[in-house]
Structure 1
Amino acid sequence: MAAEDLDWERSKISNQDLNLMKKLGLMKKDDAIRFPSEESYPNPPMEYRVSFVDHLIRGLSAPIHDFLRGLLFVYGIQLHQLTPNSILHISIFITLCECFLGVPPNWALWKRIFLLRRNASRNATYNIGGVVICVRTDVEYFDVKFPDSVQGWRKKWLYIHEESANSVEHNIVPFDGNAKIQRRRSWDAEASEEEKKATEALMSRIRQLQNTRGEELSGVQITAYFLRIRVQPLQARKNPLWTYTGGNDANRLSSDLSAKDLEKLIRRISSLNKKDPVPSSCRVEPYSSTNPLPENHPTMSSLPPLPEDGEVEEQAVVAEDNQGSSLHESEVAGSHKSAASHEKEVESEASESTQSLPPAVSPKNKRKRDDAEASGTSKPEETDPSSQKAAYDPYLGTLISSDEEEEPLIKDLLRIGTQFVGYREYASNAEEKLAEANERANTLAQQLEQSEQARKKAESDAVGARAEADKAKADAAGVEDLRKRLHDAETSLSEHITAQSAREEAILKRIRTQNRRFVARTAQEYELEDPDNDPLLDAVSFLEFHGTEAREGIDEAKAGLLRLFPYFFPKKEAPATFLNLAKCFNPPEDLGLKMRHENQKVAVESTVALVADSQQTIDWTKVGDTDQIEQLKWRSLVKAAKPNTKKILAYLGVKPASTPSSSRPEV
């Protein structure tokens, strides 16, 4: 496996991440977080450590909790080597201990539940997030519902202010991006028998929290709880969470999140989808100031051992799990090689057997050969090639010497018998070779079938490649069509801009004409105080000014006409619109003359009533005959009556006008 670390890149933190950290109160202090500028490799300032946005939203804040410090020291790892899900594991564990078990985070309990593993793929080993905290397979733990992967979290790195603790040994080591991850024996450390006895009550409580019907507690509920109360579990705190006092608690970083923001954050750090409900509360009431710990409740404390004087204790390094794979591969390669050489040996033996027939052998020599093969020797006893043809001669010589007068027929029979024995041996060898040839033929048939399958696969891949090529051509045609459409859109936009410019020029021309007409009618000129050299804006400003002036004039005219309306039309209701109101004051007759006539009629009637009330005898026929009275006499009478007008009006109950009338009497 190639040992290639994922390189650091320039930090890319979005505005959405910044807004989220502000809502969570992580940026409450000015020096709590510093963001990288343009560096592509972390270079934290003094007293700052490298962290990630996804670490902070999962419960991490500075100063770091002593339990997390101890874990980093014991396991020999750095903060940036933990994955976001591992950070959430630690946050949930601390919240579980303080809120639902009523004890500080317990190191012995941690060892009973968790262990560490490397985070690596087949082709690469990770340094950023190269360590994963896992639940032991033999332990029942809460269903946390982690997401399968957290996308892009390695690119969102920043610097957090690690405040100096009381002693040096409590500060975590400075950032070292070149430090390689080495698996240590402490990664698999288990609790001792004494620790198991001490934490058995806590394990029983965890099983009870998981399995009590109707009151089951889940990892998502624990996560939602510490996010809801706005306390970071991995931050060093003065008071444990079982003393939480609510909205005024000193450990809170911000006010309550809205229901929408809280639900969105929980779905981001878990695998809940839109259909899964987000828990609004825990089914088990956590310990707090309103739900205090029972009396005599044991608060056993067990933290990971911290080094003295800032020195990290060397832990034994364990070899990687994947060692020995190269040896296995060499063995496999050797076995393939042996099989090939064996096929070559079989092939050479078969070719040699077809070149010449085996010599005839006697039963005696055959037995010797069988005995040699049965004894396990690698090859039979070698014989002189010149004597191979006379292998049966001793037996044949004995027969001939016993009776030198035997007929030639016996010799032929003996010769045929010896040849028969030789052919039988040859047939047996031929059968063995034929079986081997059949086996090789079957092997070749299998290889041919595999080759045929490979050929079909190659043809299928070729068809797929052609389909992809056709798709690429179609995409290219689509790109060309998009370019053409873009060109057409640009042309249309240019034409639209030209038409818009022409339309604006026409509007300007029309507005200038209207402005000249307005100036000619009103004899007023309007100029902008700060012109922007924008003709259209200037024209609109002219229109706005003139329109405002016209509206104000109409409003003033309407107010005046509404005040005069009851005098001219006492029995009518005033129209709602100005146009109808103006039409009322523009009739064919003269409203002023009509009103004066009405007033004179009232005055005459009042005078007649006054004279009648005085019980004087008057010849009304003579009074009404205006033809018998001269106009000058009428005027003298009116002039003589003026000094007594106010008295007469007071008698009639009419309030006199404040200004004298300048209208001449109508006759």
Structure 2
Amino acid sequence: METESFEISGWERSKISNQDVNMLRKLGLTKKEEGLLFPGEESFPTPRIGYRVTFIDHLIRGLSPPIHEFLHGLLFVYGLQLHQLTPNSVLHISIFITLCECFLGTHPNWALWKRIFYIRRNNSHNTNYNVGGVVIYVRPDVDYFDVKFPDSVQGWRKRWLYIREEYLDSQEYNIEPFNGDAKILRRRSWVAEATKEEKMATNALMKRIRELQNTRGKELSGVQITAYFLRIRVQPLQARKNPLWLYAGEKDVDRISKDLHVKDLERLIQCFSSLSKKDSVPTSCRVEPYSGTNALPKPLMKHFISLGTQFIGYRDTVEDLKEALAKANKRADDLAANLEQSEKARKKAEQDAASVGDLRKRLHQSETALSEKITQQIAREEAIIGRLESQNRRFARKMSQDFELQEPEGDRLLDAFALLEIHGDLARRRIADARTAFTHLFPYFFPKKKQPDAFFDLAKHFIPEEDLGLAFRQENLKIGIEGTIALVAESQQNVDWARTGETKRMNKEKWQSLIKAAKPHSKKILSFLGYKPAASSSSAKPEVK
């Protein structure tokens, strides 16, 4: 084992969105009560007893508790923790298990795994990672299924959470306890090749893989295998009651949810691979997988063969196990030497048990309160999104103009804010245009008033209770009457103004009110022209001074 170690990169606070939670719910990963716990403000994972740290991108790629025995052995042989695998590496393991159980008719075979894969450190931009610090690769000389993985999965290290540990009755142990600061130590097993004996035992399996890849019209691809385990809703990396070659359809005991919608399935496959939206997404396999309706040929024979080859690849770990056993014996001697001291400490611990119980109770209450707070925050965010979207719809109806984002973020809250910014900018421009129009019209409608500076006060003048058009027509009528009076005065005619309004088609009272309103102005006009009105109230005969 080499002692060269990676630099430890720090953990970051988990940022799980509502979109992530909805995806977990669709995939059936939130059905178990308290099966998942979302972290609070902590920037370093601190799982409570009975829980383990994992990532959303690991769960959606086939990981669920209890952990599959093959993954147990892989982590043990490579000396890794679960969080040190990248999402693409997790998907590699899921595809391999599905390949073995559905298309090769055998349990996951360690010797076959060594013939195909090796691992190495994950270096990016001169950074050695701890979280996702190793990557699984296909050996250059092996012709294996092209999965078309993306170069990287953006932001997956910031989407960690806690999952409750589970065990099958047949499992006597679990994987190593979580240690977020554990260094990654490179081992010879990372690149160990299959022995001659292992190659002989797996030649038939390698031949079958080549046939699956190259049979014309029935070529099997990594994307098809991925689509298959997503479609049947069975997690390959979960310790299951039955192998996949016994899959029984919708009533299968290992299914975690109902069938996904075709669009949801296609989105997941595009997320897992480098396929673009224009590429066709296979939702079925060209080769019929083994299942309850497509039984294995001579299943008992294949089962015995798999038992004979499954654990061949673990022989190179014997020396490591011997070394570990020696350390364990030394540790046992040390524990025996400390037994007497531990007995004394036990008595003291019994005295402190009451306070410890109270501390656990308070810790549980704090965790419950934190979980409730997260739920409240999610509900509050949904309410804010609803109000923003409602305002955007109302604005679109009022303006009779709707907008669509050219490059949406995919986050409802950010997209609603973006639309609100567009609507706000449009409203500001329209208000500026209205202010310009009101400023030009104000002197014509209100010549005797001072124009206000505030837009609200300016707009109120154009929204009075009375009809501005009617008032403007009446004002023009008054001016016409004044002009008529002036012309009559100039021609020195005798006019009975009261009788002038007695036409059948005009309202006398209205006409008289107009004359009355024009009277003060007519006096000024007559005075300017040099005439003096007569004293009679029913006629106006001007006299020359």
CA distances 1:313-352 after superposition (whole Å, capped 9, x unpaired): 759xxxxxxxxxxxxxxxxxxxxxxxxxxxxxxxxxxxxx
Q: How is 1:210-229 mapped onto 2 (pairs within 5 angstroms)?
A: 210-229=213-232
Residue 532 of structure 2 is matched in structure 1 by none
Residue 72 of structure 2 is matched in structure 1 by 69
Distance 1:487 1:222, change over 3 A: closer
User: Which letter maps to 2:58?
Assistant: H
Give, in whole Å, the separation in 1 of the partners of 2:426 and 2:282. 50
| Offset at residue 124 of structure 1 (A) | 1.4
| Offset at residue 506 of structure 1 (A) | 4.5
Give, in whole Å, the separation in 2 of the partners of 1:253 and 1:63. 13
| Offset at residue 168 of structure 1 (A) | 7.5
CA distances 1:396-415 after superposition (whole Å, capped 9, x unpaired): xxxxxxxxxxxxxxxxxxxx
Verify: 1:102 aligned to 2:71, yes or no.
no
Q: Contact 2:245 / 2:292 at 8 angstroms: preserved in 1? A: yes
Distance 1:491 1:81, change over 3 A: same
Work out which of the two has the higher radius of gyration on C-alpha atoms and give 1 or 2.
1
Q: Contact 2:6 / 2:184 at 8 angstroms: preserved in 1? A: no
Residue 28 of structure 1 is matched in structure 2 by 31
Q: Secondary structure at the match of 2:251?
A: coil
Give, in whole Å, the separation in 2 of the partners of 1:266 and 1:499. 59
Give, in whole Å, the separation in 1 of the partners of 2:34 and 2:94. 24
| Offset at residue 202 of structure 1 (A) | 0.4
Q: Secondary structure at the match of 1:298?
A: helix
Residue 154 of structure 2 is matched in structure 1 by 151
| Offset at residue 4 of structure 1 (A) | 4.6
Match of 1:287 among 287, 290, 309: 290
Distance 1:167 1:237, change over 3 A: closer
Q: Secondary structure at the match of 1:7?
A: coil
| Offset at residue 14 of structure 1 (A) | 1.1
Q: Contact 1:63 / 1:161 at 8 angstroms: preserved in 2? A: no
Q: Secondary structure at the match of 2:53?
A: strand
User: Which letter maps to 2:226?
Assistant: T
| Offset at residue 164 of structure 1 (A) | 3.9
User: Which letter maps to 1:94?
Assistant: I
Residue 409 of structure 2 is matched in structure 1 by none
| Offset at residue 192 of structure 1 (A) | 1.8
Distance 1:295 1:119, change over 3 A: same
Distance 1:250 1:92, change over 3 A: same
Distance 1:119 1:45, change over 3 A: same
Give, in whole Å, the separation in 2 of the partners of 1:30 and 1:501. 59
Residue 63 of structure 2 is matched in structure 1 by 60
Q: Secondary structure at the match of 1:170?
A: coil
Distance 1:501 1:181, change over 3 A: farther
Q: How is 1:484-563 mapped onto 2 (pairs within 5 angstroms)?
A: 492=432, 506=465
CA distances 1:64-92 after superposition (whole Å, capped 9, x unpaired): 10100111111000000000000000000
Give, in whole Å, the separation in 2 of the partners of 1:294 and 1:130. 41
Match of 2:302 among 285, 298, 316: 298
Verify: 1:6 aligned to 2:25, yes or no.
no
**Does 1 or 2 have the higher relative contact order (CA < 8 Å, sep 6+)?**
2
| Offset at residue 153 of structure 1 (A) | 0.5
Q: Contact 1:69 / 1:170 at 8 angstroms: preserved in 2? A: no
| Offset at residue 121 of structure 1 (A) | 2.5
Q: How is 1:261-660 mapped onto 2 (pairs within 5 angstroms)?
A: 261-295=264-298, 297-299=301-303, 300-301=306-307, 302-303=310-311, 305=314, 492=432, 506=465
Give, in whole Å, the separation in 2 of the partners of 1:99 and 1:166. 24
Give, in whole Å, the separation in 2 of the partners of 1:490 and 1:39. 47
Q: Contact 1:147 / 1:271 at 8 angstroms: preserved in 2? A: yes
Paired residues in the alignment total 337
| Offset at residue 190 of structure 1 (A) | 1.8
Give, in whole Å, the separation in 2 of the partners of 1:109 and 1:271. 26
User: Which letter maps to 1:268?
Assistant: C
Q: Secondary structure at the match of 1:247?
A: helix
| Offset at residue 280 of structure 1 (A) | 2.2
Q: Secondary structure at the match of 1:128?
A: coil
Q: Secondary structure at the match of 2:302?
A: coil
Distance 1:134 1:2, change over 3 A: closer
Give, in whole Å, the separation in 1 of the partners of 2:216 and 2:115. 25
Verify: 1:197 aligned to 2:200, yes or no.
yes
Q: How is 1:76-155 mapped onto 2 (pairs within 5 angstroms)?
A: 76-155=79-158
User: Which letter maps to 2:112?
Assistant: L
Give, in whole Å, the separation in 1 of the partners of 2:61 and 2:13. 22
Give, in whole Å, the separation in 2 of the partners of 1:295 and 1:168. 28
Q: How is 1:166-245 mapped onto 2 (pairs within 5 angstroms)?
A: 166=169, 170-245=173-248
Match of 2:21 among 18, 28, 45: 18
Give, in whole Å, the separation in 1 of the partners of 2:68 and 2:171. 15
Give, in whole Å, the separation in 1 of the partners of 2:104 and 2:56. 29
Give, in whole Å, the separation in 2 of the partners of 1:496 and 1:101. 77
Q: Contact 1:3 / 1:123 at 8 angstroms: preserved in 2? A: no
Give, in whole Å, the separation in 1 of the partners of 2:5 and 2:84. 19
| Offset at residue 497 of structure 1 (A) | 5.6
Q: Secondary structure at the match of 2:237?
A: coil
Q: Contact 2:168 / 2:239 at 8 angstroms: preserved in 1? A: no
| Offset at residue 274 of structure 1 (A) | 1.3
Q: Contact 1:116 / 1:134 at 8 angstroms: preserved in 2? A: yes
| Offset at residue 56 of structure 1 (A) | 0.6
Distance 1:305 1:497, change over 3 A: farther
CA distances 1:336-394 after superposition (whole Å, capped 9, x unpaired): xxxxxxxxxxxxxxxxxxxxxxxxxxxxxxxxxxxxxxxxxxxxxxxxxxxxxxxxxxx
Residue 373 of structure 2 is matched in structure 1 by none
Distance 1:498 1:67, change over 3 A: farther
User: Which letter maps to 1:270?
Assistant: S
Structure 1 gaps, min length 5: 316-481, 508-667
Give, in whole Å, the separation in 2 of the partners of 1:2 and 1:200. 36
TM-score, length-scaled by structure 1: 0.47
Between the two proteins, what is the percent identity of the paired residues?
64
| Offset at residue 182 of structure 1 (A) | 0.9
Structure 2 gaps, min length 5: 326-421, 436-453, 467-545
| Offset at residue 123 of structure 1 (A) | 2.2
Q: Secondary structure at the match of 2:135?
A: strand
Q: Secondary structure at the match of 1:141?
A: coil
| Offset at residue 195 of structure 1 (A) | 1.5
Q: Secondary structure at the match of 1:115?
A: strand
Give, in whole Å, the separation in 1 of the partners of 2:229 and 2:455. 58
Q: Contact 2:6 / 2:183 at 8 angstroms: preserved in 1? A: no
Residue 40 of structure 2 is matched in structure 1 by 37
Q: Secondary structure at the match of 1:208?
A: helix
| Offset at residue 214 of structure 1 (A) | 0.6
Q: Secondary structure at the match of 2:120?
A: strand
CA RMSD of aligned residues (A): 3.1
| Offset at residue 175 of structure 1 (A) | 1.0
| Offset at residue 162 of structure 1 (A) | 1.5
Give, in whole Å, the separation in 2 of the partners of 1:36 and 1:313. 38
User: Which letter maps to 1:15?
Assistant: N
Give, in whole Å, the separation in 1 of the partners of 2:69 and 2:458. 72
Give, in whole Å, the separation in 2 of the partners of 1:3 and 1:200. 36
Q: Contact 1:144 / 1:218 at 8 angstroms: preserved in 2? A: yes
Give, in whole Å, the separation in 1 of the partners of 2:261 and 2:65. 24
